[in-house]
């Protein structure tokens, strides 16, 4: 039963939205998985979706799935590009991975309007400006 499963807490793993560049017309954003551990994580699965209310109408984006066989320690993986138009929605990333035979999972949610310059930090490992959930 689910109560018999060990409580494996996700630590030193982050999801970040980084500003990659900009031009006169638009800004270019990407979502990254950052492994701050010194050991690799394996069989990494990330699902992403957006949902919420926009202009008084409930909106839901497609659910996307991304798989990475391994993410080395102190490394990152590009998950996907993200459009600024979704910043007014909840942007959810569900992460699942293994270390050895132990499985870990965690849900990361960027709340509406949280991806703003006021919340920027210098993202570790990436060395780019952006917003991160640890």
pLDDT tens by residue, 52-91:
998 889 999 999 999 999 999 999 999 999 999 999 999 9
pLDDT score, position 107? 97
pLDDT tens by residue, 93-108:
999 999 999 999 999 9
- Are the CB atoms for 15 and 33 separated by under 8 Å? yes
Average pLDDT, the chain: 93
| Polymer length of the chain | 134
Domain covering 2-133: architecture: Sandwich (2.60)
d(CA 70, CA 85): 31
d(CA 86, CA 62): 12
d(CA 117, CA 134): 18
d(CA 18, CA 52): 22
Where do the structural domains in the chain lie, given as residue ranges? 2-133
Mean pLDDT on 32-53: 97
The pLDDT confidence band at residue 18, using thresholds 50, 70 and 90, is very high
C-alpha neighbours within 13 Å on the C-beta side of residue 79: 26
Find the range with the poorest average confidence among 2-6, 16-20, 86-90, 116-120: 2-6
**125: DSSP letter:** T
The answer, as to whether pTM is greater than 0.85, is yes
Share above pLDDT 90 across residues of the chain, in percent, rounded to a whole number: 83
pLDDT score, position 5? 57
pLDDT score, position 1? 47
């Amino acid at each position: 039963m689910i109560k018999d499963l060990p409580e494996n807490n996700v630590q030193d793993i982050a999801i970040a939205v980084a500003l990659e560049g900009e031009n006169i017309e638009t800004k270019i954003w990407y979502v990254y998985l950052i492994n701050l551990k010194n050991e690799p994580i394996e069989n990494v699965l990330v699902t992403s979706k957006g949902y919420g209310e926009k202009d008084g109408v409930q909106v839901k984006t497609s659910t996307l799935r991304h798989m990475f066989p391994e993410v080395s320690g102190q490394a990152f993986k590009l998950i996907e590009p993200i459009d600024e138009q979704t910043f007014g929605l909840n942007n959810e990333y569900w992460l699942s991975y293994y270390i050895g035979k132990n499985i870990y999972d965690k849900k990361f949610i960027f709340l509406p309007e949280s991806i703003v310059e006021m919340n920027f930090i210098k993202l570790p490992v990436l060395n780019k400006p952006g917003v991160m959930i640890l």
